[in-house]
């Protein structure tokens, strides 16, 4: 019982502490936290447009969270989700722009291109880890920047003629949904939400119901034991990164094919990949946990946009809250320690 108790309470604690800290920061800087969070809630679900936009924000958060969580289960820290996402975004858009095909082929092809590009980008750190024992964190950080600069170069010099973004993708490759648009007052909510849900199911299925998933998790628990019982640790490391990268690439494809319909030059990162780390951590790296955490963080992010409009509070307050939640989840030892103190005190 106590194990599950901690599993549930420490993320909850972290969220509450994070929101409290956000309220204190608002208070100290002379804003009204009740108004602030009120405006945020209105921005999350105030009317059908906001609800649509919130759900739209959640789509890449779910996929980025799955990407980080999947690698975590094999004992790998995929900090490169950001780069894989950018690469997947561009690949999906490229296919969307370059080909002229019927929708039934074009759309799946574009989505697949995103996933494959993300996989290939994640294959590099996986392969280097397996082959040379190089730490995947450093390699994937370096690849994040490489992805950023290379995609910017490709957009400007190869795909377009010195423009700062690509052409719009063909309608046959678009995930846009007139049905959702009519339902949510023309928000950008798109069909990708179903892809995200399918991926959640895929992750759960691979990890819990297949032999491959068992091996992946075994390697995450204990590499020596896995090796000794005949599993190939190297193969599983690479496989885990490749699948993780596919989720990340899909997250990018959702942005490219659904939300924006093009790929533009970026001055910096999208941030979705890094927030994916927060999502995975808070969701305890389980498929269902990732969904819940993505709803929370996606909601916070979407609601934040409304805060400066209604109350003048800079939307960055939400980034602060998310960062603090990561801190508190990471320092769960501290929360456990407090809980234990508290229990002892009660006795």
Partner 1 sequence: MDFYQVLQIIIPSMIAYAAPLIFTALGGVFSERSGVINIGLEGLMVIGAFTGIVFNLMYADVLGAWTPWLSVLVAMIAALLFSTLHAVASITFRADQTVSGVAINLLAVGLTLFLVKKIYDKGQTDIIAETFPRIDIPLLSDIPFIGPILFSNGYYIAYLAIIVAIIVWYIIFKTPFGLRLRSVGEHPMAADTMGVNVTKIRYQAVLLSGAFAGIGGAIHATLFANDFSHTTINGQGFMAIAAMIFGKWNPLGAMGAALFFGLAQSLSIVGSSLPFIKDIPSVFLLIMPYILTIIALTGFIGRADAPKASGQPYIKGKR
Per CB under 8 A, residues contacting partner 1 are 25, 29, 77, 79, 124, 128, 131-132, 134-135, 137-139, 141-146, 149-150, 152-153, 157, 267-268, 274-275, 277-278, 281, 308, 314, 316-320, 322-324, 326-327, 329-334
**Smallest gap from residue 242 Cβ to partner 1 (A):** 18
Alpha helices in the chain (DSSP H): 2-28, 33-45, 48-73, 81-98, 103-132, 136-153, 178-183, 192-209, 211-221, 223-228, 233-253, 272-282, 287-304, 306-311, 316-330, 332-346
Nearest CB to partner 1, comparing residues 155 and 175:
155
**Smallest gap from residue 201 Cβ to partner 1 (A):** 27
Nearest CB to partner 1, comparing residues 1 and 28:
28
Nearest-10 Cα torsion for 179, 182, 188, 193: -40
Nearest CB to partner 1, comparing residues 186 and 337:
337
Nearest CB to partner 1, comparing residues 122 and 277:
277
**Smallest gap from residue 127 Cβ to partner 1 (A):** 10
**Smallest gap from residue 234 Cβ to partner 1 (A):** 15
**Smallest gap from residue 112 Cβ to partner 1 (A):** 26
Burial 265-290 (b: 16+ CB within 10 A, else e): bbeebbebbbbbbbbbbbbbbbbebb
Query: Distance (Å, rounded) from C-alpha 118 to C-alpha 315?
Result: 30
Query: Distance (Å, rounded) from C-alpha 141 to C-alpha 125?
Result: 10
Nearest CB to partner 1, comparing residues 45 and 150:
150
């Amino acid at each position: 019982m106590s194990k599950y108790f901690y599993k549930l309470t420490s993320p909850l604690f972290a969220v509450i502490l994070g929101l409290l800290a956000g309220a204190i920061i608002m208070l100290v800087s002379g804003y009204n936290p009740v108004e602030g969070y009120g405006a945020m809630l209105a921005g999350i679900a105030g009317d059908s447009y906001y609800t649509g936009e919130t759900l739209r924000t959640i789509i890449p958060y779910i996929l980025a969270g799955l990407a980080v969580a999947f690698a975590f289960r094999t004992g790998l820290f995929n900090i490169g989700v950001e780069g894989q996402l950018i690469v997947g975004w561009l690949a999906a858009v490229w296919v969307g722009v370059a080909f002229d095909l019927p929708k039934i082929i074009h759309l799946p092809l574009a989505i697949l291109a995103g996933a494959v590009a993300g996989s290939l980008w994640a294959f590099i750190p996986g392969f280097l880890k397996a082959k040379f024992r190089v730490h995947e964190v450093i390699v994937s950080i370096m690849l994040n920047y490489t992805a950023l600069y290379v995609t910017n170069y490709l957009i400007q010099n190869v795909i377009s003629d010195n423009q700062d973004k690509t052409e719009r993708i063909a309608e046959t490759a678009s995930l846009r949904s007139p049905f959702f648009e009519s339902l949510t007052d023309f928000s950008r909510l798109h069909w990708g939400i179903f892809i995200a849900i399918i991926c959640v199911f895929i992750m759960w299925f691979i990890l819990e119901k297949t032999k491959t998933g068992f091996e992946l998790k075994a390697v995450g628990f204990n590499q020596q034991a896995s090796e000794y019982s005949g599993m190939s640790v190297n193969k599983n490391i690479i496989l885990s990164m490749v699948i993780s990268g596919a989720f990340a690439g899909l997250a990018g494809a959702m942005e490219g094919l659904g939300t924006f319909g093009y790929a533009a030059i970026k001055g910096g990162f999208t941030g979705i990949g890094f927030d994916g780390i927060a999502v995975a951590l808070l969701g305890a790296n389980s498929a269902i946990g990732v969904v819940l955490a993505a709803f929370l963080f996606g909601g916070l992010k979407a609601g934040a946009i409304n805060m400066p409009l209604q109350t003048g509070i800079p939307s960055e307050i939400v980034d602060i809250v998310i960062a603090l939640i990561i801190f508190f989840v990471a320092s769960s030892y501290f929360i456990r320690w407090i809980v234990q103190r508290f229990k002892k005190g009660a006795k």
